[in-house]
Each structure stands twice: as structure tokens, then as C-alpha cells.
A and B are shown apart, each in its own frame.
Chain A
């Protein structure tokens, strides 16, 4: 990367980019809030099955939830490594985080495929529609995060990620943690409280 990432500290003492990401995440809260509200409003209103009881596999999804949670831990380690200037750690954890994200996505693909085989589709009932749209958009967010983190990882591999760049890692981390937290909410509301 050709740009030295000098921080741009504004009137509030925050970097522009960091503040921009906070504003973005605020907006995302409304986005997921609306999707989750749609799911809840339609809960139990499907005239025909399959129902959540018949379909959702809590043990399986608990595992993938755990993996995603662990990826947040790795994200913390990655940021700490970049801040310390620990190149090896940065490479390791900046790969580990998206890798765990990919495992989560793998589980989701498997889950979706199984559900479709068992007869839950977008079209079959409201549960299918609201479930797939909600978790699908979450999965899309995870995918964006994975690509983002892998990009940072390639920078780290080419020694282009120095201590001065800690901020861009921190920003990716903010996004990643946010996507994780959204999943905790979805997991609780969709899977645990049926």
C-alpha cells in the first residue's frame, strides 16, 4: 500500500474513519432491527409448516455460534499484535479471524442446504421467508467481513501493515464485532427463544 495511514484526528479527538464507521454501525442497527422485527412479527403466523421446532438444529448452530464468538477473540489478538508491531502475530490472527468466519459460513451453507432438503424454502411459508432473509443478510455481512480481513491479511503478508496502520485494523474489528453481536441477538431470538 502506498499510503502511510496517518491518522486524521478531528475536532472531537476521533479519527474521521473511525467515526464514520460508528455512524455506519448505528445505521446497521436499524437495518438489522427492521429485519429482526419482521421475523418476530411473523413468528407463528405461517399457515403451514415446516415450523422452527421441526427445523432448527440448536446443537449444530451452537457450535457455529461458538466459532464466530471465538473469531471475535482472534480479532482482539490481531489488533493487539498489529499495535505491538508483532508481524508474526498479525499474520497469524489476521488469518485466523476470517478463517473462523469461513467456518461459520460453512455451517450456514450446510444448514441452509439441509433446511431446503427438509422442505423449508423462501417460498414455502413466512417462517422460511423471514428466516432466510434475516440470516442470509447476516451471512452476507460476515462474508464482507471475511473479504475485508483477508485483504488486511495479505497486506500483513507483504509487510505492508505497520503499527501506524493499527487504526484500519481496529476499524475492521469494529465491524467484525458488530456482526458478531448481531448474530448473538439472532441466535437468541430465533433459535433459543422459540
Chain B
């Protein structure tokens, strides 16, 4: 393993890339949280004067965009990267260098987006950038250009990762791991990747049209020339609704791993959970117009989309019942990870219920663009996705770092976040029903909104304290916590069969799988213990590569050129072509000597087949 900074820059190891994703995304979670705190400070009292109206627009736009694309999606990606290959019993992902490329484009795209702050041109048209507010006529500055271009970059990064993980999951399962033996987290990752691969091209096209309108004077979204701004809304939400499942399905997967482990019972109704995950993904493409009930598509269209939206509630509800039934009668260990999973179920349920409320068009017409929607979306995104991610952090931290987190601090972390979250967001339901619109930078006193706004702002500080406890817990753990054993939670899935953190090659011998909860079966003696084949003398791993970061740099150079000078676009394109060719012809089949696995006994007695059967490429 190459060490030092160079080692990280050229790494193609899925575990290291997972850590890079996690650290970067956590930083952006703090950035987005800081923006949210400013928003809440501004709104704490009537006639607030913390920020100007213009800055406020930038803050909520950047907050939404950051949280969705730079925090929650890549935090999920951190787990995809680190955990999925381990759960599959694989040595890496299918295309390790493409994996590195996804990360670097994500990093550069994120920096590009935030660079807009330094030239005083942060995006300011909301996270869904409605046409024709985004037209050159109404948004003449570079603000929207930054937004369009960085979303394109982030889209490319997600798409590349999508292809990679689809192939990894379909093609790199350990021998014996049939689809119906795959851990639910892997299943939900797979569904998520299909959603990414099918939904992102649609917003790509929407953004291309916007780019042409802004850069080349076309009139796609210009009603003055016959264009229809609603085209943007359709393209955006045809992407946007699957996107919300892209944000939540991984959390559902995490919770489906955490609950059985700490209830010491297999997941209740595994096939039903898997199928309802697929159904959610499928239906997710057919409900986008529920974001457009107020644009006047007509009663028939509105009704159809209302019914579709309510239908999605069914598989979602089914999952909730399955999770509860998993807990039922279990021998429960109330760890922090489980607390967060329980918090997820409760909070996601509440977000789901308010969602069902505005699935009815007449109700939605009252709630659209009010704080009720802000409450709803945060119950599913913070109470749902983010709590799920924290469950995953507490669950897999020992595996990823080799250290235990303090459970005591974890309890503080959970309860502060849980209380802070509800104090912040529950009052927003009231505010919305009292008529407070979203995206207003201030309001007059005496409208009945003063109290709840203040309460909500206080909540943010409790929530922030919870995050601070997490940071403290993490730092303390890395500095001085006890080393984590391979299997601290009495786990069920293959990642717990290897040391914490796992060796670079993950598995000395690729395991053979006989059960859905393979590790439990092994530990209980229910899986056949086969004679161990001799450990392989050499394990072939893909060598580190410099070209992913070169290609990503070329891409971001070209993006910079789009805002500055054509010459940079050309230069960036040349770097991409150069990097891509060197990449394609990079010497890669034999690495400078395979890794020699240590000769100690294979951990946990997993027996396996020849290690080369489904190596990474």
C-alpha cells in the first residue's frame, strides 16, 4: 500500500475511497449546517437583520444543494464504497479506477460550487432552480452558471459510480450469494444505483437546455419565444422525485442491517422488504407531478399523480411494519446504532404521514411553498436519511476505523440530535399551517409566527450540540479508544468476518455463502465448514493510479473555462483526452508483486474458493 498523501491521491482501494467520501461529505454537512444556522438566526425574530435578502437567497439555495448533493448523497456513497464490497465477499469494486474518478469529480465539483461564494456569485434560485427565474434576463450574474455547471459535474460523478456499483453488485457476489441471500443494504444500494443511472440523465438534459439558454441564446424556457418554463419543472422533477429515493433508500438499507443485528433476530419478511424497495424505486418514476399540483395541469393529471403518490405509501408502510416486526420478540441490545435506527423509523414515519397529506392536491394547494413543506422534507431527509446515516456511522465505525466509539457519548449524541431535531422542525408544521411561506428572508411581527420561529432556532443549537458530541466522540475514538474486534456486534454479514479495519485485500480466501445471515449461521454451526483451501500465494489487487485525478482535473478545468475563457475549456478537454488514453493503456494486469497474505488462520473460519474467481478490474 502506498503511504502518505500520494497514496491517498492515487488510491483505488474501495475502503480508502469510502473514507475520502465520508470525510469530505461530513465537512460539507457542517458547511450546509452552518448555512442552515444562519438561516435560522435570521428568522429567529421578526424583521431580522443578520443577513441581507440577497444573501438569504444564496443561503437557502446553497444549503439545499449542499445537503442533497454534497452531504447526504456522498455520505451514502461512503457506505456503498466501504461496506458493499465487503458484504459481497469481494476484493474491491468492479472498476476501482472509475471509483476513484467518481470521488475526484465529486470533490472538485463541490469545491467549484462553493467557490462561487468567493466571487460573490453563489447560486440563488433555490435548490430546484425554477425556470425562468434562472434565465439570463432575471439572473444575469454568474450565480446560476456556477449552479448549472457544478450540478453537471456532480451528476457525472454519480453516474459513473452508478455504473460501477451496478456491475459490482450484480457481478461480484461471492460464490453462493444468490440475489435472495444478499444483505438488504446491498439490495437498497442496487436499487439506488438504478435510480441514479436512470434519473440523472434527465436532469442532465434539463441543465443542458438551461445552459444553452444562458450561454448560446436559445429560448427553451423563454415563454416570450414560445418556450415553456414547465418543461424545466417536468425534467427537474422527473429526476427530483427518484432523487428523494436516492437519498432515503440507502438509509432504509442501513436500518435493515442494524435492526436484526441488535434484535438478534433475522429481518422479518426479507423478501417483502426487498420487493417493496424495488417497487418504491419503480413507482418513484411515476409520481413527479405531485410537485406540480399548483401549476394547473388539470384535474385528471393531478388525480392520477395523487393516486400514484398514495400508492407509494403502501410499500413504504410495509417496510415500516417489517422493521417493527423484526424488533418484536427480539433480545434487544439498545446500542446507539439501534437508537438512531429507532429514531429513523419514528421520524421517517412522521415525514411519510405529512407526505401523504400533501399527496392530496387540495391539501397540497394549501401547503405548497409553506413551512409545512419545509417541515415535511426535513422529517424525511434529516429524521430519515441523516438518522439512518448516523445509525450506519455508529454501526460500521469500528469496522472502518478499527476503534470503538463511546456508547455513553453516543447516547448523548442521539438524544441531543433527536430532541434538537424535533424542536427545530416540529414547529415548522404550525408555521406552515399558519401561512408562513418558505424562502422569505424576514417577516413582520404579530402574525402569530414569532414564538414558533424562536423555538425552531433554539432547536438548531441543540441539534448542533449533538453533532458536536459526535465529533468529540469520533476524535476521542481515533485518539485513544480500545481497538475494535473483528465482530463487535455479533454481526450477521460478511464484513464482520474480517478484521477491523479489513486488510487491503479484504478476504484471504473469497468466502462461499450458504445463508442469508451467513456469519450467524457459521457461528451457530449451521453452515457447512469446508476444508480450507490453501491460502493463495499472491492476491492480485489493482495497482494505484494517477489518472483518475488527472481526468477529474481536466474536467474541472474545462468547467472553469466555461465561466472564464474558451482556452481553458480546450485545455481541460485536452487533459481529459490525455488522461483517458493513458488510463486505457495503463499497465494493469500484473502489479508489482501480489500482496502476500499473512499466514495466520483465516479469520472466523470462513472457507472459500480460489480468490481469482471474480476479481476487480
Interface 0/1 of B85-126, CB less than 8 Å to A = 000000000110000000000000000000000000000000
Set of chain A residues within 8 Å of B163, measured between Cβ atoms = 20, 23-24, 27
Distance, CA A38 to CA B212, complexed state (A): 14
Set of chain B residues within 8 Å of A10, measured between Cβ atoms = 94, 167, 170-172, 614
Set of chain B residues within 8 Å of A9, measured between Cβ atoms = 614
Interface 0/1 of B183-217, CB less than 8 Å to A = 00000000000000111111011101100100011
The chain B residue sitting closest to A123, CB to CB, is B217
Q: Is A16 an interface residue (CB 8 A)?
A: yes
Distance, CA A133 to CA B164, complexed state (A): 29
Distance, CA A26 to CA B260, complexed state (A): 35
Among B75-83, B225-233, B378-386, B483-491, the stretch that binds chain A is B225-233
- A133 with B226: CB separation less than 8 A: no
- A133 with B208: CB separation less than 8 A: yes
Checking A16, A35, A122, A137 against B171 with a beta-carbon cut-off of 8 angstroms, the contacting residue is A16
Within 8 A of B (CB), among A1-56: 1-4, 6, 8-12, 14, 16-17, 19-20, 23-24, 26-28, 30-31, 34-35, 38, 41-42, 45-47
Set of chain B residues within 8 Å of A20, measured between Cβ atoms = 94-95, 163-164, 166-167
- B202 with A34: CB separation less than 8 A: yes
Set of chain B residues within 8 Å of A45, measured between Cβ atoms = 226, 228
The 8 A-B residue pairs whose C-beta atoms are closest, nearest first, are A10-B171, A34-B205, A31-B201, A129-B218, A30-B201, A123-B217, A16-B94, A11-B173
- B162 with A19: CB separation less than 8 A: no
Set of chain B residues within 8 Å of A35, measured between Cβ atoms = 205
- A125 with B226: CB separation less than 8 A: yes
Q: Is A126 an interface residue (CB 8 A)?
A: yes
Interface size class on chain B is: 35 or more
Distance, CA A159 to CA B170, complexed state (A): 34
Interface CB pairs A-B, < 8 A, 14: A10-B94, A10-B167, A11-B171, A16-B95, A19-B170, A23-B163, A24-B163, A27-B162, A27-B163, A27-B201, A38-B220, A38-B231, A42-B228, A137-B208
The chain B residue sitting closest to A168, CB to CB, is B584
Set of chain B residues within 8 Å of A47, measured between Cβ atoms = 225-226
- B614 with A8: CB separation less than 8 A: yes
Check A19/B166 contact, CB under 8 A, given A3-B589, A30-B198, A31-B204. yes
Q: Is A130 an interface residue (CB 8 A)?
A: yes
Set of chain B residues within 8 Å of A11, measured between Cβ atoms = 170-173, 175, 177, 614
Check A133/B167 contact, CB under 8 A, given A26-B198, A125-B225. no
Distance, CA A96 to CA B111, complexed state (A): 44
Set of chain A residues within 8 Å of B589, measured between Cβ atoms = 3-4, 6
Distance, CA A142 to CA B128, complexed state (A): 32
Checking B170, B172, B219 against A129 with a beta-carbon cut-off of 8 angstroms, the contacting residue is B219
Checking A6, A14, A123 against B219 with a beta-carbon cut-off of 8 angstroms, the contacting residue is A123
Check A19/B172 contact, CB under 8 A, given A28-B201, A129-B218, A129-B220. no
Interface 0/1 of B167-181, CB less than 8 Å to A = 100111101010000
Distance, CA A8 to CA B171, complexed state (A): 10
Distance, CA A1 to CA B589, complexed state (A): 11
Q: How far is the CB of B11 from chain A (nearest CB, A)?
A: 20
How many of chain A's residues have a CB under 8 angstroms from any CB in B? 39
- What total of A-B pairs shows CB separation below 8 Å? 122
Q: How far is the CB of A22 from chain B (nearest CB, A)?
A: 9
Distance, CA A45 to CA B228, complexed state (A): 10
Distance, CA A89 to CA B584, complexed state (A): 24
Check A23/B617 contact, CB under 8 A, given A2-B587, A6-B589, A34-B235. no
- A122 with B617: CB separation less than 8 A: no
Set of chain A residues within 8 Å of B227, measured between Cβ atoms = 42, 126
Set of chain B residues within 8 Å of A151, measured between Cβ atoms = 581, 584
Q: Is B159 an interface residue (CB 8 A)?
A: yes
Q: How far is the CB of A30 from chain B (nearest CB, A)?
A: 4
- A34 with B206: CB separation less than 8 A: yes
- B225 with A126: CB separation less than 8 A: yes
Check A126/B220 contact, CB under 8 A, given A4-B589, A28-B201, A31-B205. yes
| Residue picked from A23, A31, A151, most chain B C-beta under 10 Å | A23
Distance, CA A12 to CA B173, complexed state (A): 9
Q: Is B6 an interface residue (CB 8 A)?
A: no
Supply 13 further A-B pairs (C-beta < 8 A) apart from A8-B615, A23-B166, A125-B226: A3-B585, A16-B94, A16-B95, A19-B171, A30-B198, A30-B202, A31-B202, A38-B235, A41-B228, A45-B226, A126-B219, A129-B212, A129-B219
Set of chain A residues within 8 Å of B225, measured between Cβ atoms = 47, 125-126
Distance, CA A120 to CA B569, complexed state (A): 27
Check A126/B226 contact, CB under 8 A, given A2-B585, A3-B589, A8-B615. yes
Q: How far is the CB of A139 from chain B (nearest CB, A)?
A: 14
Q: Which residues of B contact A (CB under 8 A)?
A: 94-95, 159, 162-164, 166-167, 170-173, 175, 177, 197-202, 204-206, 208-209, 212, 216-220, 225-228, 231, 235, 238, 581, 584-585, 587-589, 614-615, 617
The chain B residue sitting closest to A11, CB to CB, is B173
Distance, CA A38 to CA B205, complexed state (A): 9
Within 8 A of B (CB), among A106-120: none
The chain B residue sitting closest to A47, CB to CB, is B226
Set of chain B residues within 8 Å of A2, measured between Cβ atoms = 585, 587
- B162 with A133: CB separation less than 8 A: no
Checking A31, A133, A137 against B218 with a beta-carbon cut-off of 8 angstroms, the contacting residue is A133
Checking B170, B172, B198 against A27 with a beta-carbon cut-off of 8 angstroms, the contacting residue is B198
Q: How far is the CB of B205 from chain A (nearest CB, A)?
A: 4
Set of chain B residues within 8 Å of A41, measured between Cβ atoms = 228, 231
The chain B residue sitting closest to A5, CB to CB, is B589
The chain A residue sitting closest to B193, CB to CB, is A23
Checking B175, B216, B617 against A8 with a beta-carbon cut-off of 8 angstroms, the contacting residue is B617
- A12 with B170: CB separation less than 8 A: yes
Q: How far is the CB of B213 from chain A (nearest CB, A)?
A: 9
The chain A residue sitting closest to B224, CB to CB, is A47
- B216 with A122: CB separation less than 8 A: yes
Q: How far is the CB of A94 from chain B (nearest CB, A)?
A: 16
Set of chain B residues within 8 Å of A30, measured between Cβ atoms = 198-199, 201-202
Q: How far is the CB of A47 from chain B (nearest CB, A)?
A: 5
Q: How far is the CB of B484 from chain A (nearest CB, A)?
A: 30
- A14 with B588: CB separation less than 8 A: no
Set of chain B residues within 8 Å of A137, measured between Cβ atoms = 208
Distance, CA A130 to CA B231, complexed state (A): 13
Distance, CA A123 to CA B198, complexed state (A): 30
Distance, CA A28 to CA B175, complexed state (A): 32
| Residue picked from A30, A122, A126, A151, most chain B C-beta under 10 Å | A30
Set of chain A residues within 8 Å of B614, measured between Cβ atoms = 8-11
| Residue picked from B167, B197, B589, most chain A C-beta under 10 Å | B167
Set of chain B residues within 8 Å of A12, measured between Cβ atoms = 170-171
- A133 with B209: CB separation less than 8 A: yes
Q: How far is the CB of B443 from chain A (nearest CB, A)?
A: 39
Check A17/B617 contact, CB under 8 A, given A31-B201, A34-B206, A126-B226. yes
